[in-house]
Amino acid sequence: MIFMKRLLIIFIACWAFVQAQQLNGTEYFRYAIPEVAKTWEGYVILGSGAAIAGLATFADKPVREFMIKKAYLPSWLDYVADKYVDHYWAFGVSALGAIGKGYQTGNYAEPIRYWAASNITTVALTYALKYGVGRMRPNEKNNHSFPSGHASVAFTTATMYQMWYGWTAGVPAYAIAVLTAFQRVDDNQHWFSDVIMGAAIGIAVPYMFYKGEERAKIDQGMFMPPLSISFPFNFPAGK
């Protein structure tokens, strides 16, 4: 079952890159990806997350000692928060958001491409750090603790919803992401600093892809720039 889910995710990701409208595959890599790389706000988010995670390492042991005293989440909520990422539910939730955005705009492929790029990059960066850092989990299960993959994927889903639909959808999505991160610490699967860095990755990556493609399309004259600014989120201009 899990293997089939992985195949489905890979298939949708490949289809999205091939079929996306407005910027075709060649234009996307030619114009959008350089703009993604130049989205400096994303580096600020990542750098800030790394700095906060570094400081949080001093609190890792006290937080763990506090959390292992008892289970703070009821068993059913602990299960849901864990399986939200572990059973790929988060990918399905964000895919539904992409489909909904496609229904709004009449262009389904473009938001699905954004979904694919954000998730693939988040997972790749997360696992590059996991294997590069080699930090032991608090339960000593393995040395792939930093950063938390559950947190990074959950926050990626939340950030995509916020970028697509604003805070109306972003607030509940971020609430689920925070719950997922909390569960990882509550279940002794991650250190506190692991989930902080995972959250930073989950916010920065989809933000960079969204803003990078937005600027690329403006540069190519494909639509008028929006009358708003967002750092790191979409706040109305002048507020």
Residue 5: is its pLDDT beyond 90?
Answer: no
pLDDT band at 231 (very low <50, low <70, confident <90, very high): very low
Residue 4: is its pLDDT beyond 80?
Answer: no
Confidence (pLDDT) at 226: 39
CA distance 161 to 173: 7
pLDDT band at 115 (very low <50, low <70, confident <90, very high): very high
List the domain boundaries for the chain: 34-217
Q: 90, exposed or middle or buried, with CB in 10 Å at 0-12, 13-18, 19+? A: buried
Residue 235: is its pLDDT beyond 50?
Answer: no
User: What residues does 228 pair with on adjacent strands?
Assistant: 236
Q: What are phi and psi of 221, to 5 degrees?
A: 70, 30
Confidence (pLDDT) at 14: 54
Range 64-91 average pLDDT: 91
Confidence (pLDDT) at 88: 87
Architecture of domain 34-217: Up-down Bundle (1.20)
